[in-house]
Structure 1
Amino acid sequence: MQDIYEDILRLAAGKIRQRIRAGDYASHTAGLGKGKLQANIAVMPERYALDFMRFCQRNPKPCPLVGVSDSGNPNMFTLGQDVDIRTDVPSYFLYEHGTFSREIHDITTLWQSDFVAFALGCSFTFEHALMRAGFSLWHIENDKTVPMFRSNIETVAAGPFSGPMVVSMRAINKSRIQEVIAISRKFPLAHGAPVHWGDPSEIGIKNIDTPDWGDASPVTDDQVPVFWACGVTPQVAIEQARLPICITHKPGYMLITDVDDDAEIPVIAHSNS
């Protein structure tokens, strides 16, 4: 898998989506698509879409909304040329009545005529800027998925959607905390500045060695755990809402868009004729 990752790493966003669609790559997307926005996804029946959009609007840190499909149309044309939400994510989670059902790599056969797809910004996007500034990111260097945790920070409910904020963690050198805050703040569509740094117990995390999603990441004596709002938050809200069916990305396995990672508003020139 490492050899495939190294090959994919050199490709442009559209080429990466083609490889994912063909089934050639089905792993995490950390470090991929440099310069382009990565996105979490949620797909649900249209009757729940307005409440979910309200949930995102009320919780912009964990749920920065960057794209919404038309009802029944899997083409996310505002996010890139030829973006098919059914095939272009490396791995999906299927939820039925709020309960995780199974992991799948293509949702074409599950697609329904009333489905609406949402794309939410991802912190993987600002990681490129951190690496350019000389930050060491353990999960990328070791081909792992960033650790993610349920926190005790509550979201603002909307309709059936509610629950705690999920956060992702990266170990940052103590002397560079203000620098990492300043860099990530420039990417509001990718969760922006961190929500907490220092003692994990202050946000309800008992043990950073046992993440709820992703892989445990070491924190050395000269580092501090830094936590960002995470796009897995909607998955927790979906569990609470108990929708009859909902599909999300597998945590860490994102949609790579054609949107520039420093864009304020995602807009892709497209002829929809």
Structure 2
Amino acid sequence: MQQLTPKQIRQQIRQQQITGNTSGLAKGFVQCNMVILPADWAVDFQQFCERNPRPCPIIAMSEKPGDIHLDKVGEDVDIRHDLPQYRIFEQGKLIGEVADVADYWRDDLVTFFLGCSFSFEEALIDDGIEIRNISEHKNVPMYRTNIACEPAGRFSGDMVVSMRPMVPADAIRAVQICSLFPSVHGAPIHFGNPNMIGIRDINQPDFGDAVSIKENEVPVFWACGVTPQVALEQAKPPFCITHSPGCMLVTDITNRSLSTGG
């Protein structure tokens, strides 16, 4: 079966033929988390990302408020339609999830696209490491932690992490591989005992789906692009749009282009 191009995937998402998480789609291409904010909140959020590049690595942002197309990330990208699911927040509270945000669009909105762990998953698979959320056809499990982000302006909060179980030898290899991808969260920030980073029950993720952890495996944790959603809950901007966890923008940027390994 011929693989769809990123543009073809976006077209299917726009037509709501793809409505779920995008993990494993578009082999070779970067996927992005997304945050959309009013322009008067954008400077603080940009500074928050710059101070916390592990969970919030900026891939691209609007050149001016109201832009619905970002040519930097893909041909004919329309921010209002090209993610499978969006979250709508008012005053920091989630008020709904929708498949399209055309009815919510405003001319003062600024879009940020942030690096996503789905890019380094491909590099790990190519090295022979199983990615459990892909092999079990699930969304990656994500957890709130007690790891504080560096505040910036009105934004602060604790980091969210994603988790993939691995045998210890693969965990060490994952550190080596993912260190080459700082634009998509880089190396793991922790592996082993989840209680040490404030996770009480590894089988009850705050976002995404639980995956099986085998007897000889340890949980391996990466900084996660859902972190801004926690910061938004605390900052309480009057209005905000984000991706739904696991439902990313598929871009035309190659994973290879983000590797520092040459």
Q: Contact (CA 8 Å) 2:145, 2:197: kept in 1 or not? A: yes
Instruction: Return the alpha-carbon distance in structure 1 between the equivalents of residues 234 and 31 of structure 2.
Output: 25
**For residue 182 of structure 1, what is the amino acid of its counterpart?**
Q
Aligned-pair CA distance for 1:176: 1.8
Q: Contact (CA 8 Å) 1:187, 1:262: kept in 2 or not? A: no
Note the residue ranges of structure 2 that are not aligned, 5 or more in a row: none
Match of 1:190 in 2: 184
Match of 1:225 in 2: 219
Q: Contact (CA 8 Å) 1:149, 1:166: kept in 2 or not? A: yes
Aligned-pair CA distance for 1:264: 3.8
Aligned-pair CA distance for 1:259: 0.6
Note the residue ranges of structure 1 that are not aligned, 5 or more in a row: 1-6, 266-273
Match of 1:268 in 2: none
1:95 matched to 2:89? The reply is yes
Instruction: Return the alpha-carbon distance in structure 2 between the equivalents of residues 263 and 46 of structure 1.
Output: 30
TM-score when scaled to structure 1? Answer: 0.92
**For residue 185 of structure 2, what is the amino acid of its counterpart?**
H
Partner SS state of residue 206, structure 1: coil
Determine which of 10, 24, 33 is the counterpart of 2:17.
24
1:52 matched to 2:45? The reply is yes
Aligned 1:209-220 pairs, distance under 5 A: 209-220=203-214
Match of 2:146 in 1: 152
1:41 matched to 2:34? The reply is yes
Aligned-pair CA distance for 1:33: 1.1
Q: Contact (CA 8 Å) 1:171, 1:224: kept in 2 or not? A: yes
TM-score when scaled to structure 2? Answer: 0.96
Instruction: Return the alpha-carbon distance in structure 2 between the equivalents of residues 247 and 194 of structure 1.
Output: 27
Partner SS state of residue 39, structure 1: strand
Instruction: Return the alpha-carbon distance in structure 1 between the equivalents of residues 258 and 43 of structure 2.
Output: 23
Instruction: Return the alpha-carbon distance in structure 1 between the equivalents of residues 188 and 232 of structure 2.
Output: 23
**For residue 147 of structure 1, what is the amino acid of its counterpart?**
P
Q: Contact (CA 8 Å) 2:136, 2:211: kept in 1 or not? A: no
Partner SS state of residue 257, structure 2: coil
Identity %: 47
Q: Contact (CA 8 Å) 1:28, 1:145: kept in 2 or not? A: yes
Match of 2:200 in 1: 206
The alignment of Structure 1 onto Structure 2 pairs a total of residues equal to 258
**For residue 247 of structure 1, what is the amino acid of its counterpart?**
I
> CA-to-partner distance for each residue in 1:73-114, whole Å, 9 max, x for gaps?
110111111111110000000001000000000001100000
Q: Contact (CA 8 Å) 1:171, 1:223: kept in 2 or not? A: yes
Partner SS state of residue 210, structure 1: coil
Instruction: Return the alpha-carbon distance in structure 2 between the equivalents of residues 205 and 20 of structure 1.
Output: 33
Provide the aligned C-alpha RMSD in A.
1.2
Instruction: Return the alpha-carbon distance in structure 2 between the equivalents of residues 159 and 126 of structure 1.
Output: 31
Match of 1:137 in 2: 131
Match of 2:163 in 1: 169
Instruction: Return the alpha-carbon distance in structure 1 between the equivalents of residues 165 and 92 of structure 2.
Output: 32
**For residue 139 of structure 1, what is the amino acid of its counterpart?**
N
